[in-house]
Amino acid sequence: MLKNLINLIFPKLCSGCKNLLLKNEIILCSQCIHDLPFTLHHNLYPNEASKKFDGIIPIEFCSSMLYFHHDGIVQNLIHDLKYRNQQKIGTLLGNWYANDLKTIHEKFNFTEIIPVPLHSKRLEERGYNQVTTFCEAIAKGIEIPLNSNLLFRNRYSKTQTQKDKEHRKEVSNALFDVKFTNLDHNKHFLLVDDVITSGATLEACTRALLKIPDAKVSIITMAYTLS
């Protein structure tokens, strides 16, 4: 009864279209689930996401789960996940994507999941890293560990999504770094971020991970920005 009352005062809305959710719907309404723009990158390699890194940095595999359109369902989902503490969205997407990634994992044999880290100051402001629940669901689904201690961010940089060369250079130089021991050698890291836009952040993270002897890096993201 209390739950009904709470629902009446704070009705649950679909993260995609902001319409009221039906009783049996969670996070997304069935129409939005039906309309989700899946990339199907995992069935196609090389693909448009992996091509971002061609000739720039060696990666083994790369795929994004969904297309990010401005004003679309995916933009709303990522916004709610990132700024409205809707961490369940990461779990939902991660559970779905883990199923798609099982055969990819059989082929590439990833050893650890590495989330792109937030700077500690940003983590303090937001209280959570928006990719954590997505990473946790995938780690569970393909049965490999999640390691949040290996890769870290050196310096605070403001939120920015510019795609210009200056930005790319800046992010690369802002530098991520790794703290590793002999036990981290010879691994295949599955690096995870929310959205690929320019690819600069993922490039900088990959550079850092490749400092580890005999490391291999693959990349997955929740969304891919069409530019």
Among 2, 4, 10, 16, binds Zn ion (CB under 5 A): 16
Determine if residue 145 is left, alpha or beta; phi over 0 gives left, psi from -120 to 50 gives alpha, anything else beta: beta
Among 17, 57, 174, 210, binds Zn ion (CB under 5 A): 17
Minimal distance in Å, beta carbon 213 to Zn ion? 47
The size of the interface with Zn ion (CB under 5 A), counted in residues, is 5
How far apart (Å, rounded) are the C-alpha atoms in residues 42 and 64?
A: 8
Name the DSSP class of 22: P
Residue 21 binds Zn ion, judged by CB under 5 A: no
Residue 72 binds Zn ion, judged by CB under 5 A: no
> Which range, of 6-14, 151-159, 169-177, 212-220, touches Zn ion by CB under 5 A?
6-14
Among 32, 59, 205, 209, binds Zn ion (CB under 5 A): 32
How far apart (Å, rounded) are the C-alpha atoms in residues 42 and 51?
A: 14
Residue 29 binds Zn ion, judged by CB under 5 A: yes
> Which range, of 32-40, 114-122, 163-171, 178-186, touches Zn ion by CB under 5 A?
32-40
- Of the pair 20, 226, the CB lying nearest Zn ion is at 20
Minimal distance in Å, beta carbon 21 to Zn ion? 8
Alpha helices in the chain (DSSP H): 2-9, 30-35, 48-51, 73-83, 88-108, 120-126, 132-142, 165-174, 200-209
Minimal distance in Å, beta carbon 36 to Zn ion? 10
> Which range, of 29-37, 90-98, 129-137, 168-176, touches Zn ion by CB under 5 A?
29-37
- Is the dihedral angle over the CA atoms 207, 52, 70, 132 positive or is it negative? negative
Q: Other C-beta atoms within 10 Å of 103: how many?
A: 11
Minimal distance in Å, beta carbon 78 to Zn ion? 15
Chain contacts with Zn ion (rule: CB under 5 A)? 14, 16-17, 29, 32
